[in-house]
């Protein structure tokens, strides 16, 4: 049985990827420090070892890497506002830990590293959709940190021959996304407000747009990125988006319609570091990686809503 390694595999996106890998016949080794990841996210999976280790300490995890095994690097501290209010931990986890991991992958001669980059790297562009050829213009420490990780991946490909592919995730949502923190992804918050029949708070006028991408489509793309021809993809960066965007106002209206409710959102001040509009050009990922998102936004929302209801026992 083939081995795959997933950093951050006990987190929301990581654990979905782990499930997809297991379904594909892999044995998966998860490296996670369990700061935001949860053992529960991996419950019921036999083909998984959880190695609790922190990538900020190089000596702590190198032994868990194996020659030739593909590595999916999803461990990170997400959130634009968290990186603004408390930049040191996210700097250490998003840049230093990524550097440590890449060095260890070279030393241990692992297989290809697929890196979870972020659409935030684009910042505000004059033109939509956002293509990989555009100059990055990060607007927050988080965006800058994720961009630094991409650059390190490309540099490690060029200088050390480590195969890497960076995927710029576009606002991933789905089951297991934790709605309980003030830094939680907006859809996890909206969906739980909907279940509670409560008004969400929208930061700004709600006309900002996002290319919300269902987590299973992102997991599928990660696996494709790991297997795509090395000569075509090594060292490259690709958009991992759905290719459609919705404003927050539209999204909340859609959710209310799904439930036959009419709840007006509350509005608060715009958030520092927020990107105005986000929409992925997916052509390069389709061409080079075989990206083929299967879930429309509405399908993803329904599946996620069902999951939250079940997990809350409703």
Q: Give yes or no for residue 79 binding ligand UD2 (CB under 6 A).
A: yes
Q: For 212-229, b where at least 16 C-beta lie within 10 A, e where not — what string?
A: bbbbbbbbbbbbbbbebe
The half-sphere exposure of 176 on its side-chain side, counting CA atoms within 13 A, is 22
Q: Which is nearer to ligand UD2, 29 or 82 (CB)?
A: 82
List the catalytic residue out of 72, 142, 238, 308: 142
Q: Give yes or no for residue 162 binding ligand UD2 (CB under 6 A).
A: no
Give me 7's structure tokens: 């950093």
Q: Which is nearer to ligand UD2, 65 or 172 (CB)?
A: 172
Q: Which of 6, 133, 122 is nearest to 66 (CA)?
A: 6
Q: Quick count: other Cβ atoms within 10 Å of Cβ 137?
A: 13
Q: Give yes or no for residue 236 binding ligand UD2 (CB under 6 A).
A: no
Output the smallest distance, CB 48 to ligand UD2, in A: 24
Residues forming a β-bridge with 238:
167
Q: Give yes or no for residue 274 binding ligand UD2 (CB under 6 A).
A: yes
Which one of 57-65, 105-113, 164-172, 281-289 is the stretch in contact with ligand UD2 (CB under 6 A)? 164-172
Which one of 95-103, 167-175, 229-237, 301-309 is the stretch in contact with ligand UD2 (CB under 6 A)? 167-175
Catalytic residue flag (residue 160): no
Q: Which of 245, 289, 295, 246 is nearest to 132 (CA)?
A: 289
Rg of the chain, C-alpha, whole Å: 19
Q: Where in 196-215 is the site for ligand UD2 (CB under 6 A)?
A: 200-203, 208, 210
Residue pair 271/204 in contact by the 8 Å Cβ criterion: yes
**What is the distance between the terminal CA atoms of the chain, rounded to a whole angstrom?**
39
Q: Give yes or no for residue 80 binding ligand UD2 (CB under 6 A).
A: yes
Output the smallest distance, CB 93 to ligand UD2, in A: 13
Which positions touch ligand UD2 (CB under 6 A)? 78-80, 118-120, 169-171, 185-186, 189, 200-203, 208, 210, 248, 271, 274-275, 278
**Any idea which residues carry the catalytic annotation?**
142
């Amino acid at each position: 049985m083939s081995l795959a390694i997933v950093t951050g595999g006990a987190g929301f996106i990581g654990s979905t990827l782990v499930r997809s890998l297991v379904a594909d016949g892999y044995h998966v080794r998860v490296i996670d420090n369990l700061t935001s990841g949860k053992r529960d996210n991996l419950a019921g999976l036999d083909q998984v070892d959880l190695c609790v280790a922190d990538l900020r300490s190089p000596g702590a995890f190198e032994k868990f890497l194996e020659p030739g095994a593909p590595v999916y690097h999803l461990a990170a501290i997400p959130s634009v506002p968290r990186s603004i209010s408390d930049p040191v931990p996210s700097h250490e986890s998003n840049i230093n830990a990524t550097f440590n991991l890449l060095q260890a992958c070279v030393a241990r001669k692992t297989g290809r590293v697929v890196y979870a980059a972020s659409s935030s790297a684009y910042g505000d562009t004059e033109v939509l959709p956002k293509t990989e050829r555009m100059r990055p213009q990060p607007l927050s420490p988080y965006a800058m940190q994720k961009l630094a990780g991409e650059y390190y991946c490309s540099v490690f490909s060029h200088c050390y021959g480590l195969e890497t592919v960076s995927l710029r995730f576009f606002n991933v949502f789905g089951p297991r996304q934790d709605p309980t923190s003030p830094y939680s992804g907006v859809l996890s918050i909206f969906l739980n407000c909907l279940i509670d029949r409560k008004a969400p708070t929208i930061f700004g006028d709600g006309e900002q747009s996002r290319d919300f991408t269902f987590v299973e489509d992102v997991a599928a793309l990660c696996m494709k990125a790991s297997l795509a021809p090395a000569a075509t993809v090594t060292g490259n960066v690709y958009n991992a988006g759905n290719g459609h965007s919705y404003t927050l106002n539209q999204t909340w209206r859609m959710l209310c319609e799904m439930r036959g409710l009419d709840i007006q959102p509350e509005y608060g001040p715009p958030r520092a570091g927020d990107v105005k509009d986000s929409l992925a050009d997916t052509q390069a990922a389709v061409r080079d990686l075989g990206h083929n998102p299967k879930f429309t936004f509405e399908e993803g929302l329904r599946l996620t809503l069902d999951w939250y209801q079940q997990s809350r026992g409703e």
